[in-house]
Amino acid sequence: AQKGGATWSHVLIGANQDDIRTTRVGMAGADLIIGCDPIVAAGKETVLRMREGRTHVALNSYSTPTAAFVHNANWQNPADACAAEIVKAVGVAGVGAFNADAASTKLMGDSIYTNPMMLGYAWQKGWIPLEYASLMRAIELNAVAVDNNKTAFEWGRRAAHDLPSVEKLFASAQVIAMPTARQSLADLVAKRVAFLTDYQNAAYAQAYETLVNRVEQAESALGKTLLSQNVARYLFKLMAYKDEYEVARLHTDRSFHDKVGAMFEGDFKLNYHLAPPLMAKKNDKGELQKQAFGPWMLSAFRVLARLKGLRGTALDPFGRTEERRMERALIKQYEASIEELLQTLDAGNHAAAVEVARIPELIKGYGHVKARHLKQAQVQWAEAMRAFRHPVSAPHRIAA
C-alpha cells in the first residue's frame, strides 16, 4: 500500500516456527499478494515475487496518487495500466479486483477499513490458509475498532462471493454518453450558463455566453469548433473563480449536505479547514495557512452566500486582496486576448488561436499555488500570442 510512500508487509505462514527460515517472501515465491494500491502492486519489488500458476493477487482497483501528482499538475493515475501488468505476471485467473476504497468509504464511512475488507475478499476466495475463527480472534486481540474491522471483513467476503450486489451499493449507476462535438459545445455552454447564474447572476452568465457565441460564429466560417470549445471551457474557468462567496454558496448548497449525509450515519459535526485572506496566518514563506473552524461556520456561510452581489464591487470586503484583484484581471486579460483573435482569425492562424485559448488550463490551484502556476502560464501566454500575431509560413518546396 502507500500513503506516505510505498510499503510492503511480508507475511509467512507455517505449521510451526521451524518451517519459517526467513522474514521475507522470496523471488517468484508469493502465494498471495494483497495489493491495496495497484501502483505499488505492479512495482518491480512486488512483481518479482509473482509467478503465474502459483501467485494470486487480491487487488484494490482504487489508486492513491503518488508524489508525481504534486510535482506534475497534468499527472494521470495509471491504475488500469498497473492492473494490466499484474495480469501479465500472474494471468487473468490469478487476479481478483474491486474498488475496496470506494466500498469502504461508502459502506463503512471511512477508507481506513480498506485493508480488512481486502483481507476478507482474499479469504473468501480461498487464498488464505487460516481458519475464520483465527482471523476473528486476531482482530479481537488487536483491540482496535473490533466490530468495524469484523464488519469490513464480512463486506470483503461478500464482494468476493457476489461483487455486483456490493457494487450496486456504492457504484454510480450514471451512464456517461459521449456527445458529438456540436452537441458537446451546446451542452458545455448551457451547463456553464446555469452555473454562472447561480454563481453571480444572469447578467454575468450572459456576458460569458455572448463571447462564446461570437467565437462560435467566427469559427463556423472555417468549419471548425475547437476554438469555441476551448473558450467555453476556459473563460468559464476564469469567471467562476472560487472566492469567499463561492465557498459559502457551495457549503450551504442542499446537494452538498445530502452528499455528506449519505456518507455518514448517526450524529456528526462538520469542521471546516480554511485560509481566509483577511484572517489566516502566514508561514515563513508568506503563504496563507489553513485553520480549523467549527460547525458555527455554517451560519456565517449562509450570511456570506447572500452577499455574493458585492463580488467585484467597491463594497466587496475581499475584493482588494491581491488574489482577488489578480483573478478579475485574468478575466479581462483573457477576454482581450479572445477579442484580438477574432479580429484576424483565419484557417492559417486557427491552430495558434486554439493554443492561446487553452492557456488557463495551466493555471491551477488556489492561493500561492495558483500564483506560482500563473507566473509560468503568463510566459507561455505571451509566447502563444506572439505565435498568433506572427505565424511562421511553411517553406515552399520546389520540385526538382
Q: Quick: pLDDT tens for 58-100.
A: 999 885 544 443 444 444 445 667 888 899 999 999 999 999 9
278 exposure class (CB count in 10 Å sphere: 0-12, 13-18, 19+)? exposed
Model confidence at 296: pLDDT above 50: yes
Q: What is the mean pLDDT of the chain?
A: 86
Length of the chain: 400
59: phi then psi, degrees, rounded to nearest 5: -115, 130
Question: Which three cell numbers, joined as nine digits, stand for 21?
Answer: 527460515
Would you kindly state where each structural domain of the chain is located, as residue ranges? 17-170, 181-242+321-389, 244-310
**Mean pLDDT for the stretch of residues 111-139:** 95
pLDDT tens string 306-342 = 999 999 999 999 998 888 999 999 999 999 999 999 9
**Mean pLDDT for the stretch of residues 206-220:** 96
57: phi then psi, degrees, rounded to nearest 5: -125, 120
* Side-chain-facing half-sphere of 162: CA atoms under 13 Å: 6
- Percent above pLDDT 90 for the chain: 60
pLDDT at 179: 41
Gyration radius from the chain CA atoms: 27
Alpha-carbon distance 243 to 250, whole Å?
A: 11
Decide if 212 contacts 228 (C-beta within 8 A): yes
Decide if 111 contacts 105 (C-beta within 8 A): yes
Alpha-carbon distance 56 to 41, whole Å?
A: 12
In this structure, which CATH number among 3.40.50.2300, 3.40.50.300, 3.30.465.10, 3.40.920.10 belongs to the domain 17-170? 3.40.920.10
**Full-model pTM:** 0.57
Model confidence at 285: pLDDT above 90: no
Nearest-10 Cα torsion for 2, 290, 247, 241: -80
**Mean pLDDT for the stretch of residues 193-216:** 96
> Among residues 334, 328, 326, which one has the least CA distance to residue 356?
334
